[in-house]
Amino acid sequence: MYSPLHICPRTLTGMNALKHLVDWKFWRDEDVRHVLELARTVKHNRRDFEEHMRGHTLVMLFQKTSTRTRVSFEAGMTELGGHAINLDWRASNFTLSKVRFETQYLSRNAAMIMARLKDNVDILEMEQAASVPVINGCCDLYHPCQALADMLTIAEHSDGKAEGAKLTYIGVYNNVVNSLVSISAALNVRLTLVCPIRDESVVDQAARQRLLDAGLLSETLDATAAIRDADYVYTDTWLDMEYFNDPEYEEEKQQRCDLMLPFQINAELLAGSDAHIMHDMPIHPGYEIAEDMVECERSIIYDQAENRLDAQKAIMLHLLHGL
């Protein structure tokens, strides 16, 4: 039976009373560890948190398409006793005005703002303008909410602790990787990257260097060697979900597929490995992962997706109530 740590409101002494989540690199390591433990506690004691958001509204602003971010934040807010408003960027006045103007208006109507946007610069502008917590639901540089759910999943399959776990990521160096790098540094997770495609403008070099200096980051193009001792192997889409089925990106898609196909997560690659399989979804079977791997015994992909719910709850409870 799960025995949670006692969770009590955290003192904000020495911290700004208003706190945001742009990426884990901007948080103290102890706060990252705390919110992960909070997520575990919330998951195993959901009834204890049913009224914590009563009377509070979360605005969810979407410029990018979404399934898991939308569902987990809205369901999470509902289960905590609050209310969530779904706001489509394209159907709002964010298309007409400055981000900071619209953000200040939202701040006067909501307790928190979660934004899933294309450009990190817009997230940063919202952070500067908001008088309520802003949560980065995903942008071109970071995906912190996904990374917390990833670590919650790893902890659940590693006797309750993510620390010391060996995680291998195989795929394009992207926003997910940046946040995995940041959170791995805080949680002492050993991360190996196999990234044949890397746009240096996307790489958070400061976060990467921190993990390197801690002796927790390895990089290679030998996928077989990278998973040999891995506890977990993680992959992601080779092309941003916004463009995967866009005819204008068909040529780039084909080029990426040609380059990345030898790095597909499949039975041949994983032969001799006991690593659990992870994917942040949506999945493109036959591309980054073979279809028979998605639901095989070693896959924890659905656990990983489910954990978005309690990860989001923990983030909101910490930012709004200091839990």
- If you write DSSP's letter for every residue of 109-137 in order, what string do you get? T-SEEEEE-S-HHHHHHHHHH-SS-EEEE
- What pLDDT is attached to residue 251? 85
User: What CATH architecture is 158-299?
Assistant: 3-Layer(aba) Sandwich (3.40)
Query: Going by C-beta distance under 8 Å and a sequence separation of 6 or more, which residues neighbour residue 158?
Result: 164, 165, 231
**How far is residue 206's CA from residue 224's CA, in Å, rounded to a whole number?**
28
Residue ranges of the alpha helices (H) in the chain?
29-44, 68-79, 99-107, 120-129, 144-156, 175-187, 205-213, 223-227, 250-260, 267-270, 291-294, 301-321
Please report, to the nearest 10 degrees, the dihedral formed by the alpha carbons of residues 149, 317, 202, 260 taken in order: 10
Question: 218: buried, middle or exposed (CB in 10 Å: 19+, 13-18, 0-12)?
Answer: middle
In order along the chain (323 residues), what is the average pLDDT of each group of 10 residues? 47 61 98 98 97 98 96 98 98 97 98 98 98 98 98 97 97 98 98 97 98 98 97 92 72 89 97 96 96 98 98 98 96
Overall size of the chain counted in residues: 323
List, edge to edge, every strand of the sheet that includes 57-62.
83-88, 57-62, 112-116, 134-138
SS3 content of the chain, % helix, strand, coil (to 5): 45, 15, 40
**Identity of residue 41:** T
- What pLDDT is attached to residue 242? 63
Three-class SS state of 201: coil
- What pLDDT is attached to residue 6? 46
Strand pairing partners for 62? 88, 116
**How far is residue 314's CA from residue 80's CA, in Å, rounded to a whole number?**
10
Please report, to the nearest 10 degrees, the dihedral formed by the alpha carbons of residues 208, 214, 217, 218 taken in order: 120
- What pLDDT is attached to residue 199? 94
**How far is residue 83's CA from residue 182's CA, in Å, rounded to a whole number?**
30
- Decide if 24-143+308-321 and 158-299 have a common fold: yes
Q: CB–CB of 155/161 below 8 Å? A: yes
- What pLDDT is attached to residue 17? 75
Query: Going by C-beta distance under 8 Å and a sequence separation of 6 or more, which residues neighbour residue 10?
Result: 31, 34, 318, 322, 323
- What pLDDT is attached to residue 14? 38
Q: Where are the domains of the chain?
A: 24-143+308-321, 158-299
Rg of the Cα atoms in the chain: 19
What pTM, to 2 d.p., does this model score?
0.93
Residue 170 corresponds to which tokens in the numbers above? 């195989």
CATH numeric code, 24-143+308-321: 3.40.50.1370
Q: Please provide the DSSP assignment of 148-159 as one string.
A: HHHHHHHHHTTT
